Amino acid sequence: MSARLNAYGNDDVKKKDYEELVEMTKKRKRCKELVMVLAAIVIGAGCFFAGGAVASSRYKAEQEMNVMLNRSELDGLDKITGTIYVAGHKCPDSDTVGSSIAYAYLLCELGYDAQPVVLGQINNESKYILNAAGLETLMVLQDTAGCNMVLVDHSEYTQSAEDIQDANIVSIIDHHADGTITTAGQLIYDARPLGSTATIIWIRYRNYGVTPDQQTAMVMMGSILSDTKNLQSENTTYADREALKALSDLAGIKDVDAFYQDMYEASLSYEGMTDKEIFFSDYKEYESGGIKYSIGNINAYDEESAKDLAERMLDVFPSALASTGMDMAFAQINVLHDDVSFTCLIPSNDIADEVLEDAFHDTAVHEGIWYKLEPYASRKKVVVPAIANVIESHSSFKD
């Protein structure tokens, strides 16, 4: 009996040993599989990071190649001796001022002797931006003959220095239509349909692998805010928005809207200025179909102040036409803040009135001395093309 029990006991022991052996074998198998999985992960991760490092290295090399390719366009400037002056149009606005500073700084960073200048007195908005950036007012260049020039924010003879034909123009950076300025030699010509010339220059900074300093970033930011009306104008593009974000970070401006509001308030101030100076504070000349005309851009806060300015501009027109030789002139008064947005166009004479009637009879309301467009209309994008189209298509205006 006891022998049987011992036999049964031995069987139980053997069974237990067998089960333990099976379990141990399973554990070893699982451990082996786990080791293989871990090894695969390590190998995969190594390949991933190695591949990432290779991709990163290739990307960096591609970036460096792009910078070198973009900088190669400057090779021709090596032959230039003397200072390169960077200037915008006559009656400089904030885009002209900021773009001049920005492109001169870029050239200096690339090893050239460059200096930003203006071709006339700057307006109060530009003064505010320069003061906020801690920069001095730019020198007014009286004589451009024989000078090395980079022209920003314009490409029309009528908008540039009187003797610009005698200058050595090495570059034109602009966001307007192709102008009348031509050169005998090669030049860098970069014209893009963006909201601000400063945006084009920001792109060129990126292309050249250069970062603007805080002061330069701030004036570039002011240029974009001014020309796009705080990104509200219809000429605003994706590039303008991205440039503004990047430049405001570099400038250390956290509240861009507040900065623009201060700019806008400065632009409304015409304290100490004569009515003629107000008209010429943001003034441009054009020529279409043999007719010369000009547009003075003016900011107002509301309709009441706009009407007051409009009445005063009527008294300015005779002397403005006489001193500039224009055939007709227009005052463009803009009100753009909060939810208020409109533009009023005031013609200088009966012919100018006919032009506005033909150009905007479907889109503007004729109210007394002005034609009112709602919402705000860009001078570059809306007003100039419409006026030019009417003048070029009607021979009666040429008589």
Q: What is the pLDDT of residues 96-111, one digit of tens each?
A: 999 999 999 999 999 9
Q: Look up tokens 């102040």; give the residue.
A: 305
Place of tokens 């009528």: 158
Closest CA to 227 of 258, 264, 202, 262: 264
Q: Please state, in angstroms and rounded to a whole number, the distance separating the CA atoms of residues 93 and 154.
A: 11
Query: Which one-letter amino acid corresponds to residue 355?
Result: V
**Single-letter amino acid, residue 206:** R
Ordered per-residue pLDDT tens for the chain, 399 residues: 444 445 445 555 556 665 666 667 777 777 777 767 666 676 665 666 666 666 778 878 888 999 999 989 988 776 888 999 999 999 999 999 999 999 999 999 999 999 999 999 999 999 999 999 999 999 999 999 999 999 999 999 999 999 999 999 999 999 999 999 999 888 999 999 999 999 999 999 999 999 999 999 999 999 999 999 999 998 999 999 999 999 999 999 999 999 999 999 999 999 889 999 999 999 999 999 899 999 999 999 999 999 999 999 999 999 999 999 999 999 999 998 888 999 999 999 999 999 999 999 999 999 999 999 999 999 999 999 999 999 998 766 555
Phi first, then psi, for residue 14 (nearest 5°) are -60, -40
Task: Give the DSSP H or E segment for 169.
Answer: strand 168-174
What is the model's pTM?
Answer: 0.80
SS3 for 7-40 is HHHHHHHHHHHHHHHHHHHHHHHHHHHHHHHHHH
